[in-house]
Structure 1
Amino acid sequence: MMIKLSVPLLAASMFLAGCAAPPPKQTPVLVQTPPRIVVVADPKLTELLAYQASLRLMTPSELVKAQLELSRADHAPQNTIRRAMLQAILRTPGELARAQTLLDSVTQASSDEAKLLAPLAQFLSGQYADLRRQDEAVERLNGQVRDAQRRNDLLNEKLEALKNIERSLSVRPAAGAPK
């Protein structure tokens, strides 16, 4: 009987010994960290972004003054972008289109300064295109509202005319009533 007991005991100890075996060696996995990107802002870009922020805070008279100052400035790409920003902030009819034209001249120029400012000009041009589409949609919707209001006014006039006709009709005497 002892033999029978030792075989299962031997099998169980071998099973447990197999579980306790050291794990196979794994090769370490090297994890690469993404390279750090350091953006050094060009002073011209920083100045243009600050100029854009200052435009939003200007009063109408200050905007006119800025427009006069820019009209005297040279046609360097930086000043061209300033002109476009100023025209876009004025938002009078056609100014966004003129601003986009100015920005397109910067993106197509071949000077080093223009190449540096071209991404900003492209970004602003895209923003101004979106604003133009929004303005056109607002105008279209305003036109629809005006048309609906005219139709409403016309229908109200017709309704009032029908009410006046109804009031002006003589009341017919009831049947069997003395005349």
Structure 2
Amino acid sequence: MNVERAVALATIVAVVSGCALERAAPPPGVEEPDPPVIVEQASPVLAADVNLRAILAFYRKSRGMSRAELIAERKALEGSDGRPLDELRLAMLLGQERSDLVRALGLLDAIARSDNPQALALQPLARLLSDQYAERLKLETQSERLGVNIRDAEKRAAAATAQARELQEKIDALAEIERNLPGRPAPPVPTGGTNR
């Protein structure tokens, strides 16, 4: 029974305190001030989010482009006015072709160092792509170096095999000559006499 009373009392207190939160009407003759006007401004975070979404959409679209479409898109971006967003898109296209990673890195580094307001929002993505492209360039260089080492090793192995074959032919020729030699006379057997 005490629990029921406590619950009922708590409910009444909550209802009464809720009513106290309502604003009382101003006294007669006093005007209520106008509520503050809230003006929504374009948030830089929201603008950056829109840019990143557009860039990711461009990336997905460019992954499905044919070589001719990639070249046409690249030429269009190369002819643009050098906006950071276009430079980033161009760097992404150059990174796909793999032959222009150095140029793509140059574009990304320029965006990362820029103090242009448009570039500031793109700098984290530019740094990320720059790190990935630098790593790819390093791996491609190592791969080329390993390819050269493998080709050199194959040439040395082929030369060693040829030399071994040549030596084996000489050994076989010497063995053939030795077989064709007439047999040696047996050494004389000593006779029973002893020399003093």
The alignment's TM-score, normalised by the length of structure 1, stands at: 0.69
Structure with max Cα Rg = 2
Match of 2:51 in 1: 44
Cα-to-partner distance string for 1:25-71 (whole Å, 9 max, x where unaligned): xxxxxxxxxxxxxx856211111112122222222112111112112
Corresponding residue pairs, total: 137
Runs of 4+ off more than 4 Å: none
Question: How far off its partner does 1:159 sit?
Answer: 1.3
Match of 2:177 in 1: 171
Match of 1:8 in 2: none
Q: Distance in 1 between matches of 2:158 and 2:61?
A: 45
Question: How far off its partner does 1:138 sit?
Answer: 0.9
Question: How far off its partner does 1:116 sit?
Answer: 0.8
| RMSD over aligned Cα atoms | 1.9
Match of 1:107 in 2: 112
The alignment's TM-score, normalised by the length of structure 2, stands at: 0.64
Given residue 171 of structure 1, which amino acid in structure 2 is its aligned partner? I
Q: Distance in 2 between matches of 1:85 and 1:51?
A: 9
1:140 is aligned to 2:148: no
Match of 2:193 in 1: none
Q: Distance in 2 between matches of 1:60 and 1:155?
A: 44
Q: Percent identity?
A: 31
Q: Distance in 2 between matches of 1:147 and 1:51?
A: 43
Q: Distance in 1 between matches of 2:116 and 2:137?
A: 29
Q: Distance in 2 between matches of 1:174 and 1:60?
A: 77
SS at match of 1:73: coil
Instruction: Provide structure 1 residue ranges, at least 5 long, that are not aligned to the other structure.
Output: 1-38
Cα-to-partner distance string for 1:129-151 (whole Å, 9 max, x where unaligned): 11111112211211221111011
Which one of the candidate residues 59, 67, 72 is aligned to 1:60?
67
